[in-house]
Each structure stands twice: as C-alpha cells, then as structure tokens.
Amino acid sequence: QLQLQESGSGLVKPSQTLSLTCAVSGGSIGSGGYSWSWIRQSPGKGLEWVGHIYHSGSSYYNPSLQSRVTMSVDTSKNQFALNLTSLTAADTAVYYCARVGFAYDFWGQGILVTVSS
C-alpha cells in the first residue's frame, strides 16, 4: 500500500521560506503514469492546488503562487519537496502531499504550517 508522509518546519516567520518534504513508501516515485502534488488548506477553509511535479522534474504551479513556489523530486530518496518563499500569514495552512493519477488517490496525513513571528 502506497504511503506518503510530510515533514518539515511547522512554524515559520513572516518573509521566510517554507520547506517541506514528502517521503513516499510502498511504491516508486519514478514509476510512470503519475505525478506528485502539493495541496493546501487554510484553517477552516477549502482546498487549494499548489502544484505538481513529475519524476522527470517537469513541474506545474498555481499561477497565484508561481513567483514564490519551487518543487523538486529526488528519485534516489523516493521523495519530493516544496519550497515556498516570502511567507505571510495567508500561507498558514495544512499542507498535503498526494499522488496524481486519474485523481488524487493517495494522500499524506498533512502538516500544519503556521506563519507567525
């Protein structure tokens, strides 16, 4: 059974950079036909697509975050990562990683990131 696990900084100061990693187990991130994604959910609010990346490194980002977001993939460690710069309180959210096939079929449990001084 595929499993995804987010890790990273849970408390970040305004203007700093968020760095999260999603470790994938029970399957290879390099297997064809899938991409790997980040989705976030602000407290008490809905879901927002952040972006996704293929094992080749090709990536697609939400235009609303385009200038601040970078994703990367490390097939040797079977993980992928999210960097989000110039943080503000509006970036406070639970960040989920997920596998993308016909839909988001496997999700991590989510990690709460709070932007506060």
Q: Specify whether the backbone of 21 is left (phi greater than 0), alpha (psi in -120 to 50) or beta.
A: beta
Which one, 16 or 59, has the nearer CB to other proteins? Answer: 59
Q: Which run of H or of E encompasses 106? A: strand 104-107
What whole-number distance in Å separates Cα of residue 50 and Cα of residue 77? 22
Binding site for other proteins (CB under 8 A): 46-49, 60, 62-64, 96, 98, 102-105, 107-110
Which one, 29 or 39, has the nearer CB to other proteins? Answer: 39
* Closest distance to other proteins from the beta carbon of 24 (Å): 15
* Closest distance to other proteins from the beta carbon of 22 (Å): 12
